[in-house]
Homo-oligomer: A and B are copies of this chain.
């Protein structure tokens, strides 16, 4: 086995920044685990899509010849039990040696556990982020050009846009519960 990387994200949804990052990472390591974090959550503003839906987005968006080098693995959030989170991830993943993430907490936790941690170059960060894409969906604006075809397909098949809009409206009348 040669070097294996770990790329951590929630992928809500999987967008061009993510696919760009994976291409970049596959030039550095010859094997990659894509970790689908917060896997238990769905139908919330931060996590509208299920882990299965997110895995499908990634699977369909990756280049076919890259698939044999990539494992896509869902891992639950540990509800702020952050100290054990890295160990929890290690339980569900084959061994890896280098972690790719720009998230401060993720970086810190893996560094403290002895891993190499590398940044991922941003791809038009201002426009391409999960938060912004969900916002665009909620406001019925254009978002389809910000995700790979695989993601677009899956989101259409599951009625994802409508789902995000419903959650958005729900939040606006937030604390109301008849």
Q: Which residues of A contact B (CB under 8 A)?
A: 9-10, 12, 17-18, 21, 39-44, 46-47, 50-53, 55-56, 59, 64-65, 67-68, 71-74, 76, 79-84, 87-88, 90-95, 101-105, 108-109, 120, 122, 125, 129-131, 163, 166-167, 169-170, 175-178
Contacts and interface: CB of A to CB of B under 8 A. Distances in A.
Contacts of A67: 67-68
Nearest to A64: B68
Contacts of A83: 42-43, 50, 87, 90-91
B74 A177 contact: no
A34 to B, nearest CB: 11
A175 B46 contact: yes
Contact of A131 (B80, B170, B176): B176
Given A73-B74, A105-B166, A105-B167, A42 B178 contact: no
B94 A55 contact: yes
B125 A170 contact: no
Contacts of A74: 73-74, 92
Contact of A17 (B41, B71, B178): B178
Contact of A177 (B10, B84, B170): B10
A103 B21 contact: no
Contacts of A43: 82-83, 105, 108-109
Nearest to A54: B94
A52 B95 contact: yes
